Chains A and B, each alone.
Chain A
């Protein structure tokens, strides 16, 4: 579903990603772990098409198409979803309005008619319940005045409603207390399916207690320095990142 080859990315003159290789197949959950500043968010932004990053080499293929060629909204309509590390507040645009606009944009992209208003409400309310959120959130402006945890929950709510094919979660666990973490993890787990892939970016192993990854990769200084199974996360928890960062320097 996603194939990243030798991806190098600059911000200004500074090289941030230094040759990333990663294959994600439908049905798989990949976790990327790494210390702060290693390039995790940069990778998630480049995949979703944020401006300000210069791809200097390599390629990213998504479902057989060149992902880097697509405008951000086309990537989103094609099923790439990024749950932001820092979700943006959009005063004056309500959650429910954005959800409807997004869902209809996806449907239009696939040649479908607009969603029926009743069906839409039913769907949204069902997902709101799943994430143990208050329905009032739907009518509030996107993320405006939300606590850190509420913002993260809202990202997962959007994901649950838009049903993307490739879910990228950038440090969704940070800022969540343990109860909220469980709810969010349940939301994510309910979306697990054999035709959906996940790229979970996290700094800690905590989230992986609730969402078990198939593969774990360690990103350090712009490179994947080690890959393994779920057990690698536990090893990192124990030893920290120091021993791996050493490998890069060498």
Chain B
């Protein structure tokens, strides 16, 4: 929907355009102009769109978020930043939507591996960016992808060439320090044939209202294996719109862990296209407290035969929080022997919390094994009484059961430092009186 605020963003675009990277690249100019036209015509998504039924984004139209013109790294407390970096990872930092070389930790990174600012890659006319940017997702997808395509200021290009197996994970740390800022980043991750990598995207910010619109395009080559973790712990006043769009080649494996904990309003799209005999595992955990609204959308496209998809999303919602899960599995006519399982489980901790869940299976092949299950429920009173009968007070019993429910997803993380970080974030959101960190 075109609104007054849409028009204001569009009106300011011409002034902003010269500061955006890739000015000399015709293909990118064209892409940005098309995306802007799409945004200008349709604006941000409206609840009338089926994929946005449960999520009304009109709150972001109350003010104009302004792109920061540089990274303002002087606003970052280096000690605080260190606490956000994973000790055993190569990490790069993006501040207010700009790559900051100053805080990057890339010592020992093999020379063949590329981890660089996407703005730099554009300046250097990297053929990789031209070949891949905009290929896993089109700006027609929805308003935030269009907006991101028109406005992205920077991002990261990650390239793991064929047969390279990375010994350490790569962390892309996105930080927003400025009030009312918008951070629009485009990231491209390429993991070529037979390569293996683990990448973590962390989104965090100071205690301000701001807008993150991040798009990540991922290409997992033949028989390659990528584990991607998204840790969204934005400020509780922030708006987060993030999309991860994945293309999996033959025999490729892709595991995604999506921890959606932060933001006043947060929406995450995870789409993956599966080629023959490829496998994807989508894990998600969303925690909502106070008035948070957390929306997760997944789309798994089984395009070719023999691919496997496994999906488990869990939500814990307290206070007046609202969680949304829309999971689509589409099995093309050609995708015989598809094996797909999708699950969504929601735990409501208060009468005012809400979970909307909508699994959708669209199956056009006839020889497939597809299942799905959803639940929305409260803590089991029988379990609470059992724990009480074992000396545990009621509040601790509730905490233990809540924590155990969420911990199933945390436990799937194999990287110790990341596991502990995520665990810490769970414990911050649900104070676990009586629950010890060395959970056995």
Interface residues of A (CB under 8 A from B): 48-51, 71-73, 76-77, 81-82, 84, 87-88, 90-94, 96-98, 101-103, 105-106, 109, 139, 141, 158, 162
Could you tell me the distance in whole angstroms from the C-beta of B34 to the nearest C-beta in chain A?
48
Question: In the complex, which residues of chain B have a beta carbon less than 8 angstroms from the beta carbon of A96?
Answer: 440
11 pairs across A/B with beta carbons < 8 Å? A72-B389, A73-B392, A84-B386, A88-B383, A92-B407, A94-B439, A101-B392, A102-B390, A102-B391, A139-B440, A162-B390
Question: Nearest B residue to A77 by beta-carbon distance?
Answer: B391
> Which one of A48, A90, A105, A109 has the highest number of Cβ atoms from chain B below 10 Å of its Cβ?
A90
Question: In the complex, which residues of chain B have a beta carbon less than 8 angstroms from the beta carbon of A82?
Answer: 389
Question: Nearest A residue to B386 by beta-carbon distance?
Answer: A88
Could you tell me the distance in whole angstroms from the C-beta of A57 to the nearest C-beta in chain B?
23
Instruction: Give the complex CA separation of A170 and B125 in angstroms.
Output: 76
Question: In the complex, which residues of chain B have a beta carbon less than 8 angstroms from the beta carbon of A88?
Answer: 380, 382-383, 385-386
Question: Nearest B residue to A52 by beta-carbon distance?
Answer: B381
> Which one of B388, B390, B405, B408 has the highest number of Cβ atoms from chain A below 10 Å of its Cβ?
B390
Question: Nearest A residue to B404 by beta-carbon distance?
Answer: A92
Question: In the complex, which residues of chain A have a beta carbon less than 8 angstroms from the beta carbon of B383?
Answer: 88, 90
Are A49 and B392 in contact, CB atoms less than 8 angstroms apart? no
Could you tell me the distance in whole angstroms from the C-beta of B437 to the nearest C-beta in chain A?
12
Question: In the complex, which residues of chain A have a beta carbon less than 8 angstroms from the beta carbon of B394?
Answer: 71, 73
Instruction: Give the complex CA separation of A101 and B382 in angstroms.
Output: 18
Could you tell me the distance in whole angstroms from the C-beta of B396 to the nearest C-beta in chain A?
8
Are A87 and B386 in contact, CB atoms less than 8 angstroms apart? yes
Q: Mark B404-419, 1 if CB is under 8 A from A, else 0.
A: 1101100000000000
The interface on chain B, measured as residues whose beta carbon lies within 8 A of the other chain's beta carbons, has a size of 26
Instruction: Give the complex CA separation of A129 and B365 in angstroms.
Output: 55
Could you tell me the distance in whole angstroms from the C-beta of B346 to the nearest C-beta in chain A?
16
Are A106 and B381 in contact, CB atoms less than 8 angstroms apart? no
Query: A90-B401, A91-B404, A94-B440 are known contacts. Are A50 and B391 too (CB-CB below 8 A)?
Result: no
Are A93 and B390 in contact, CB atoms less than 8 angstroms apart? no
Query: A101-B434, A105-B391 are known contacts. Are A51 and B385 too (CB-CB below 8 A)?
Result: yes
Question: Nearest B residue to A84 by beta-carbon distance?
Answer: B386
Q: Does B367 contact A (CB under 8 A)?
A: no
Are B405 and A72 in contact, CB atoms less than 8 angstroms apart? no
Could you tell me the distance in whole angstroms from the C-beta of B200 to the nearest C-beta in chain A?
24
Q: Does B400 contact A (CB under 8 A)?
A: yes
